[in-house]
Structure 1
Amino acid sequence: MALSRLEQRIGAHLQVLYPDLDPGELTQACLQAISSPPDAPTPVPHSNLWSQCDCVMITYGDSLRREGEAPLHTLHQFLNRHLADCISTVHILPFFPYSSDDGFSVMDYSSVSPKVGEWEDVSALAEDFTVMGDLVINHCSSRSRWFENFKAGVEPGASFFVQVPGDTDLSAVVRPRTSSLLREVETASGTRHVWCTFSEDQVDLDFRNPEVLLTFLRIIRLYIEKGITWFRLDAVAFLWKEIGTRCINLPQTHQMIRLLRLLIEHREPAATLITETNIPNNENLTYFGNANEAHMIYNFSLPPLLINTLISGNCTHLKNWLMTMPAAQHGTAYFNFIASHDGIGLRPVEGLLTDWEVSNLIQTLQRFGARVSTRTGPDGQPKPYEINVSLFDALKGTVQHGPDPWQVARYLCAHAIMLGLEGIPAIYVHSLVATENDEDRVTHSGHLRSINRHIWQADDLEEKLVGETHHRGVFNALRRLIKLRCAQPAFHPNASQFNLQLGESLFGYWRQSVSGEQSIFAIYNVTDTPQRLNLAELNLLAADLWHDLIRGQDYEDQVAQITLAPYQALWLTDQVPVAEADAAAD
């Protein structure tokens, strides 16, 4: 029987990854594992599965708690009550049973931790929102059944992990941590050394064994059946190991992502793959492939560059970086964020900021309560890896003057910049409500990342969101900005974007909708002093009226000079959709 086009494509990927195996048999095993028919319809290439109305909220399953309720149920209630009109997608960080790293040491990929809820809670959430889940694909917990089986020498697990002789030269391997790369383990077959990229509790899985691939395809099938359609490939850059190489961004890793995308999108046409690769910018961009790998890539350079811009009052590096960023092909998009459960990564600004500028950024944020995590560099010495701090506290002042009265304005400016950029915005739950540094969690957990992993008692947060607090002010302002964005065709994730040259104090870009019916000039004062803007510099098109969406002000004189207050954002458009009036009124 002739092979279908899908079978041929799967077999071609498998032939590269597993040249010693029969690609035909393995192709059928893959299709069976993910439960996809060989004649499944092919998704239309270069189709955008998103619009300007897409906005993601990132959260742990238990970031909000209420006595007597499953945290996932509490989260669902909060979303329906406050965010149903502006958040389309919810990224629930790992909600499985785990042993460390706040979920990223997964013990059982097939069950929901009873501490947060049940699969029914995930499926219920998926009825109202798109759900993005983590595929923690590089490693699993040393307390998992798989690793216990590895030590006992039985399957599944005995052949699931990367192991090398203890005296192997691994000096070329790129490290994201300072811990030992190899962990010595006693097994039924004697002493073995297993590969641990991130910690001794996170043991790397060996995808050179096709049984590991098939196991994860079954896991993906389960997630799809439970309502998850967006998949975050955690730490995927480290997936494939070859001794003598850097063991990061290897060709086999890219081949594996292409294979996963092919299988997943034929199983679920609405499925979306997002690669989490906290690496230098040029390396990160390769995970788009030729629109055949990730649908979206985390825009890791944006957080450190944007924060550096706003605390220094100089947008030069942000502007220069943006000018080098290629437009995402249709069917792909940047996943824009400026805060997450992790820290502010510093590898993504390698080659973009000087060592002195990185040091200055670190020292400034340390004045605002930040901690610094390190990794082992090529010379064996510790190097700064990420800055651990809540975003609200990171923007509490400037390099020159320290803390100042402009914290909220600076904070909202940061989000307005992100919301207007090409790509899909993702906002951490603690950014939405302007959570401060959680010093107590750092003390009690001993982990620096805990500073930005606060757990709110839901009723306490509700009180703050109706009281006279900065939490309420920020929350309402961000909701309004998100809804404004949703009404603008020019803010479609794949709409055209061009940079504006307005000096170092004013940052700006021009967006135009795919069909050309709307233009927006997005301009931001990134300093703590008023800045003059000559509208003639923008070369405004010959519209009779230009309108600032954020403040609701009209501009008829296209050559007037206007003054932007410290950290003021201006979304200047030639067309105001009807929905904008509703968003502005909220």
Structure 2
Amino acid sequence: MSLNNKVQLITYVDRLGSGNLEDMNKVLNNQLKDLFGGVHCLPFYYPIDGSDAGFDPIDHTKVDERLGDWGDVKALGSQFEVMADMIVNHMSAESPQFKDVLVNGKSSIYYPLFLTKEKVFGENPSKDDLAKIYRPRPTPCFSQFEVADGQIENFWTTFTSNQIDIDVKSDAGEAYLDDIMTKFSNANVSLIRLDAAGYAIKKPGSNCFMLEETFEFIQELADKAKAKGMKCLVEIHSHYETQVNIAKKVDLVYDFALPPLIMHLLFTKEAAPLAKWLEVSPRNCVTVLDTHDGIGIIDVGKYDGKPGLLDDTSIDNLVEKIHKNSQGESQKATGAAASNVDLYQVNCTYYDALGADDKAYLLSRAIQFFCPGIPQVYYMGLLGIQNDMALLEKTNVGRDINRSYLDKQMIESQLGKPVVKGLCQLIKLRNNSSAFEGQFNHSLDKQQLILSWSNVNKSQAQLCIDLNNLSAKLTFIENEASSSYQLEDLLL
């Protein structure tokens, strides 16, 4: 099975339209008709409103009944390629399995399902081993829970104390993940996004992140998915060389370096870092500018002594520009300013990160669509929604600044904005050109950056960016018919 090379949508089911799978399907077939080849439905399991917006499932095999059921997922999958999150690394502390462990301790049949410090490091772990563990968040790596008879257990909690890490190599862990995969297959899911898979394997003496054993584990999952007619997309934030190496071993990876590199180009008119990345970037990738998480920075930075695609000063300038463009709103949602944040991301809508500049935003999308990979567009970015400060103030969860609840009236209103109309036209141009099934090339000089595609059927597509004033021209040849557009004309 291969994914169609069309633009895909990323969205929460309950935040786009009336709040359930059936109505979201109607939105895709009406207001958003002919725009998307597929949809990444962010966690729709029970419950969708946990402490991490669905990424801490109590029951991963149950659709939250407020959204519908597996039949609704199957119906959606009959019309669109559906991507679903397989939360590989952890499950909720409120799950029946973990609650049984709290009551029965090591005698619980579910005790083998969860990881503890002692299971990995033994009774007397060395300080050096513990210090090597890579931390994606400022929260503790282990959380203490009192189990049967008052005994204290140190459960592994990579992300939050409500997300208990699974022992994925145990019989119980394998059975748990197999059950989820079977549910997906039966419900017409085409692509599995392996959430936090890089943290799933823990090993003493290592940093417990993207080990050789992790690659083996991911390959095992990919083989199981393939046997059921699905593919796997691996979600990893890391140094760009690591991402290139990962891509050689998996079906699909994200191009997380692209969002900050495009911003750097737009802020400085310097295209060399992007051009360098395009020399080596994976071709088996999914491209994004915005997602349900923040704007990643680690993907272009240095790591373990290896230089990044941007130097420290450029990254600092990039982050400060985002804060300035958003009038300080991103600062209120990032770092210690709000809870449940990652150490390597800036929380802000991509539109506001560019200063709500329609021309710059449309150019950022054009670059994304012309770079190698299958493009995904987040629902907030599709509709040009700005930072949701009211939701941020209500929840004090940094990423909620970019996770608004949009009803149909709001959707229809935003679809009338020039920048959204322009983006929708750009999506259709990308979808309708067979050139993107062919070969990619790029060139750079002091005056312009050119991204081009050509196919054996003689179809061609080209994006030419003038680096002096950031104007851009799009040219397409399809069935011997040629058409061209000045990018800013799409805003009219």
Counterpart-to-counterpart distance in 2, 1:253 and 1:456:
38
Counterpart-to-counterpart distance in 2, 1:580 and 1:150:
64
Contact 1:74/1:458, CA 8 A, preserved across alignment: no
**What does 1:65-104 align with in structure 2 at a 5 Å threshold?**
65-66=17-18, 70-98=19-47, 99-104=50-55
Does residue 112 of structure 2 align to residue 159 of structure 1? yes
TM-score (norm 2): 0.88
235-244 vs 364-373, which deviates more? Answer: 364-373
Q: How big is the shift at 1:387? A: 0.6
| Structure exhibiting the larger radius of gyration computed from Cα positions | 1
Contact 2:383/2:414, CA 8 A, preserved across alignment: no
Does residue 340 of structure 2 align to residue 427 of structure 1? no
Counterpart-to-counterpart distance in 2, 1:134 and 1:579:
40
Counterpart-to-counterpart distance in 2, 1:61 and 1:577:
41
TM-aligned CA distance change 1:208 to 1:574, over 3 Å:
closer
Q: How big is the shift at 1:571? A: 2.4
1:79-104, Cα deviation, whole Å (9 max, x unpaired): 10033312011100001123211111
Q: 1:506 matched to which residue of 2?
A: 448
Q: 2:234 matched to which residue of 1?
A: 275
Q: 1:353 matched to which residue of 2?
A: 310
What is the aligned counterpart of 1:459 among 392, 398, 409? 409
Counterpart-to-counterpart distance in 2, 1:429 and 1:580:
29
304-313 vs 116-125, which deviates more? Answer: 116-125
Q: How big is the shift at 1:426? A: 0.3
Q: 1:128 matched to which residue of 2?
A: 79
3-state SS, counterpart of residue 140 of structure 1: strand
Structure 1 residue ranges without an equivalent (≥5): 1-47, 376-381, 398-406, 467-471, 532-565
TM-aligned CA distance change 1:239 to 1:321, over 3 Å:
same
Counterpart-to-counterpart distance in 2, 1:222 and 1:256:
20
**What does 1:197-208 align with in structure 2 at a 5 Å threshold?**
197-208=158-169
Counterpart-to-counterpart distance in 1, 2:384 and 2:87:
28
> Aligned partner of 1:304: which letter?
P
Identity %: 26
Counterpart-to-counterpart distance in 2, 1:136 and 1:285:
23
Q: How big is the shift at 1:525? A: 3.4
Counterpart-to-counterpart distance in 2, 1:203 and 1:477:
44
Contact 2:61/2:179, CA 8 A, preserved across alignment: no
3-state SS, counterpart of residue 29 of structure 2: helix
Counterpart-to-counterpart distance in 2, 1:81 and 1:273:
29
Counterpart-to-counterpart distance in 2, 1:519 and 1:462:
33
TM-aligned CA distance change 1:479 to 1:159, over 3 Å:
same
> Aligned partner of 2:474: which letter?
W
TM-aligned CA distance change 1:299 to 1:464, over 3 Å:
closer
> Aligned partner of 1:419: which letter?
F
Counterpart-to-counterpart distance in 1, 2:480 and 2:52:
45
Q: Give the superposed CA RMSD.
A: 2.5
3-state SS, counterpart of residue 352 of structure 1: coil
Contact 2:81/2:189, CA 8 A, preserved across alignment: yes
Q: 1:213 matched to which residue of 2?
A: 174
Counterpart-to-counterpart distance in 2, 1:142 and 1:577:
60
Does residue 297 of structure 2 align to residue 366 of structure 1? no
Contact 1:506/1:524, CA 8 A, preserved across alignment: yes
Contact 1:177/1:374, CA 8 A, preserved across alignment: no
Structure 2 residue ranges without an equivalent (≥5): 302-307
TM-aligned CA distance change 1:232 to 1:461, over 3 Å:
same
Q: 2:260 matched to which residue of 1?
A: 304
Q: 2:435 matched to which residue of 1?
A: 490
Q: 2:144 matched to which residue of 1?
A: 184
3-state SS, counterpart of residue 417 of structure 1: helix
Contact 1:409/1:567, CA 8 A, preserved across alignment: no
Counterpart-to-counterpart distance in 1, 2:138 and 2:101:
25
Q: How big is the shift at 1:300? A: 0.8
Counterpart-to-counterpart distance in 2, 1:577 and 1:408:
32
**What does 1:392-403 align with in structure 2 at a 5 Å threshold?**
392-396=351-355
TM-aligned CA distance change 1:517 to 1:432, over 3 Å:
same
Counterpart-to-counterpart distance in 1, 2:483 and 2:85:
34
Does residue 420 of structure 2 align to residue 475 of structure 1? yes
3-state SS, counterpart of residue 279 of structure 1: coil
1:497-526, Cα deviation, whole Å (9 max, x unpaired): 2220222x632223222x262333321235
Q: 1:389 matched to which residue of 2?
A: 348
TM-aligned CA distance change 1:579 to 1:313, over 3 Å:
closer
Q: How big is the shift at 1:576? A: 5.3
TM-aligned CA distance change 1:476 to 1:342, over 3 Å:
same
Q: 2:195 matched to which residue of 1?
A: 234
Counterpart-to-counterpart distance in 1, 2:97 and 2:334:
30
